[in-house]
Amino acid sequence: MLDDSFLKSPRSRFRAALALAIVADAVQIVIFPLFAEGAISPLDDILDLAVMVALIWLIGWHWEFLPSFVVEFVPGLDLVPFWTLAVVNVYRKWKPIEDA
């Protein structure tokens, strides 16, 4: 079983969320188009749902996740790394609060 003690600090949770978002976007951009049928791919949809749930578990609910989730269903737009952009945007908003 994984030891989640490294996820105690918010900064560690953001690092884990960013790593997850980068990996998910890379899989969707590089690997899935080679094997899947595009926008109607169930694997792509399952990955998006799992990423959204995992990100909410790691760093909580943020409005940036909703457009990222919805736009993944639009053909062509799913080639933009929206999960990574969403996590970076949440971190950008959170960092000044932590520094204060």
Structure letter (DSSP) for residue 83: H
CB environment 38-52: b (16+ within 10 A), e (fewer) = eeebeebeebbeebb
What does each of the 100 residues of the chain score in pLDDT, given as a tens digit? Answer: 455 566 678 889 999 999 999 999 998 888 876 655 655 577 888 888 999 999 999 999 999 899 888 887 777 777 789 999 999 999 988 876 666 5
| Rounded CA separation 20/91 (Å) | 14
Q: Report yes or no on whether pTM surpasses 0.75.
A: yes
